[in-house]
Amino acid sequence: MHQTNALLKTSTVSFVLNGETVVSPADQTILQAAEQHGVEIPRLCYMEGMRPDGNCRTCMVEIKGERVLAPSSAAIPRKGWRSPATAREL
C-alpha cells in the first residue's frame, strides 16, 4: 500500500534547458536534470550524496524572468522555467 502511494506521489516537472524541453522528477535539481540529459554544467562544490548548498556559485544558470542567477546544484526547477544559456555563456 505504501509503495503504491509513493509511486503516485512521484511527479515530474517540465522546463526548458538550452532550448530543449526537459522532463525530470520534481525533486531533482537543475544540475541533476541537466546531467541526465547530456548537458554539462561546471561545478566545484556539488557531490552526489551530499547536501546541495551551492556555495561555490560555479554552477550558476539564468532562469528567464528571475532577477538573479540560480545555483543549478541547489535549485529545483518549476514548471515552465526557461534556462536559455549554457554555463559556458554566462
pLDDT digits (tens, 9 = 90+) for 27-79: 999 999 999 999 999 888 877 777 777 788 889 999 988 899 999 999 999 98
Of 38 and 87, the one with more pLDDT: 38
21 by DSSP, 3-state: which?
A: strand
Q: What is the pLDDT of residue 52?
A: 73
Q: What is the pLDDT of residue 86?
A: 53
The class of domain 11-89 in CATH terms is: alpha beta
Q: What is the pLDDT of residue 49?
A: 76
For the chain, what is the radius of gyration of the CA atoms? 14
Q: φ and ψ at 5, to 5 degrees?
A: -65, -40
Domain range annotation of the chain: 11-89
* Stated pTM of the model: 0.76
